[in-house]
Chain A
Amino acid sequence: MDRVIEQPLEAAFVARLPREWARAVWRFARLKPLGALGAVLILIAVVAAAFPYVFATHDPARIVAAPFTEPSAEHLLGADYAGRDLWSRTIWGARLSIMVGVLAVFAAITVATFLAIVTAYYGGLVDLLFQRVVDTMMTIPGLVLALFVLVVLGSSLNTLIFTIAIIFVPPQLRTMRSVVLSIKEMPYVDSARAIGASTLRIFARYIFPQLIALYLILGSLIIGTAIIIETSLTFLGLGLPGDVPSWGNLVSRGVRDVFNAGYRLTIPPAIAIGAAVFGFNLLGDALRDVLDPRLRGSGVGLTGRSARFAEQIQSAERGRPS
């Protein structure tokens, strides 16, 4: 049955006509309304991130009102301790959070995919070495690892992106590697070897295209987590500098100002974080169900019961530490 649902949508990835794309998107929305909701949430966040100046009513860095001004038509969410417009700061926060999340995840999965193909295909000592390093890195919870790397590199936007990318490489490498190993055993890969296709050709035309769906699924599943980690680190004072209007900073500052402004300054950025992460998770779940039913379960890579089960869940759930 899975085959019936799976393949026409899979074909959308190779579909070249816009009409086929549109039809695939429409079918996806009908099949997975929650996934479509997630896509809408993401779309809102992405639009806000791309054009914050359209939606923001004020300059997020400028003092435009008295400290702790109550919400009004002029200042939709009021002003913070310095008198900056909270609505505008929340909108601009989308840009930072989405950018950090997307860039970090894109970098992490790209590196993981490349390493997975190379280590799984060649095997041997290199593979073994990578496996050990992955095991070691996965022993430390992502947030702790991130703390450590940030201490080493110092806090800035670039190091934050780099740090989050680093902590996502090992679990994604593990998932990708197991998938590459299973693709490598497929008869059509044998068939490519039988016609004398070069290793490069087998990578590029036989293995990599099979990973595209997984790439998208993993990406949308972990961007949410990346945003959680980014905001958490910033909240702890180790991510972005304190004055930057990122969601983590806004919540952190809101908590500190609780006796001056109540929960008014904390709730809006908190909702923004929740909604964005929620959106990515919904879309990721739906994409996984539709594109790759093999991965269904609580997390990616969860296919059945085996002695490897423990590791699989771990790698799946490691994608989303709190």
Chain B
Amino acid sequence: MTTERAENMEGARTAQDDLVQVKDLQMYFPITAGLFRRRVGDIKAVDGISLNIKRGQTLAIVGESGSGKTTLGRAILRLAKPTGGEIWFDGVNILRLSGRQFMPYRQRMQVIFQDPYSSLHPRMTVGSFVGEPLVVHRLAASKVEYRRRVAELFRSVGLDPAMTGRYPHEFSGGQRQRIGIARALAMQPEFIVADEPVSALDVSVQAQILNLLADLQDQFGLTYMVIAHDLSVVRHIASRVVVMYLGKVMEISSAKELFDDPLHPYTQALMSAVPIPDPRVERARQRQILVGDIPSPANPPSGCVFHTRCPIAIDECRGEAPALRETKPGHWTACIRV
């Protein structure tokens, strides 16, 4: 009882600077088998994740495909229903809200999708696609204001407002991603989940989109959660980083600290896959290459889920899942060897 109240109070206090808090979030998908489709187990896509995102901050979620990062993002936006845990947005547990009560929060959090080809409605002009949120939430008082707002949105993502009458297939990948961003901005959100926002784009375009995201953050005071598997992208924009593996958090720290001193062996392995643009350093450094594939989340390894691929695993790693502990100030690691 007391602890619960204490937690609530802490929730209220930290809500001042934390826009989003995720507490012990679980997201299980049932596996069925046999004649009667009995539930024989769960795919634990997200297995007990807790994290905070400060206002104005960019939190990056990093991990291989299959680590549950996209599912986490969908759960925070209430596009998927979690199995357990809490999601607090600006001091409110949004999982407790009804659909109607949640509507105002829909406006405050938006999403940018990975694939700019399948995330735009192919039969809607890009203008009405970008302007649709204004219609849905009645944010424009008149036709004139609607048009002015759409033009403004186009300009803010670096597109010519004259193009509003065209269809998505007339645009390049980078332009399409800008259109997606413009739509996300239409409701003037505070928080944006960007799910691999640049991984489908050409490298030359990637930098433009990342810079655009950074500019928009400055301009509108946005808070980002960026999901990525590419650490060089993360280094470019993130202030804090969460490293995920098989639905669990391996390491959390500020971006600078993580890149300077990765403590978790999984993070180290990911880091060593990032090329360093200095041939001398590149030649001198030790490469850690992960062997094998990520295990099936339907049947995760016992103990530390990473031990099957860990270069420094010992017998104890099989026993119990290591808790996330503060290994350095503000730097949390889930590894008993650190």
Contacts and interface: CB of A to CB of B under 8 A. Distances in A.
Contact of A195 (B74, B113, B132, B169): B132
B179 to A, nearest CB: 11
A205 B183 contact: no
B187 interface: yes
Given A3-B169, A190-B113, A195 B122 contact: no
B120 interface: yes
Contacts of A13: 123
Nearest to A191: B119
Given A11-B169, A195-B110, A197-B136, A206 B77 contact: no
Contacts, number: 70
Interface residues of A, number: 24
B223 to A, nearest CB: 16
B106 A195 contact: yes
Contacts of A187: 113-115, 118-119
A277 to B, nearest CB: 31
A125 interface: no
Contacts of B107: 196
Contacts of B74: 190
Of the candidates A13, A188, A205, A209, the one having the most CB atoms from chain B within 10 angstroms of its own CB is A188
A188 B120 contact: yes
A201 B124 CA distance: 13
Most buried by B among A7, A192, A194, A205: A194
A10 B77 CA distance: 32
> Could you tell me the dominant secondary structure of chain A's interface residues?
helix
B113 A7 contact: no
A14 interface: yes
Contact of A194 (B79, B122, B123): B79
B236 interface: no
B76 to A, nearest CB: 11
A167 B123 CA distance: 32
A210 interface: yes
B167 interface: yes
Which of B77, B121, B124, B183 is the most central at the interface, judged by chain A CB atoms within 10 Å of its CB? B121
Nearest to A185: B118
B137 interface: yes
B207 interface: no
B79 A209 contact: no
A196 B115 CA distance: 20
Given A196-B106, A197-B136, A201-B136, A191 B183 contact: yes
A233 to B, nearest CB: 38
Nearest to A13: B123
A256 interface: no
Contact of A188 (B103, B121, B187): B121
A51 to B, nearest CB: 35
A194 B110 contact: yes
B46 interface: no
B79 A193 contact: yes
B233 interface: no
B137 A196 contact: yes
A188 B113 CA distance: 9
Most chain-B CB neighbours within 10 Å: which of A190, A193, A197, A205? A190
B133 interface: yes
Interface in B83-112: 103, 106-107, 110-111
B123 A190 contact: no
Return the 4 tightest CB-CB contacts between A and B, nearest first.
A196-B106, A187-B119, A7-B169, A195-B133
14 contacts: A8-B169, A11-B169, A186-B118, A188-B122, A190-B119, A191-B180, A194-B110, A195-B132, A195-B186, A195-B187, A196-B107, A196-B137, A197-B132, A198-B136
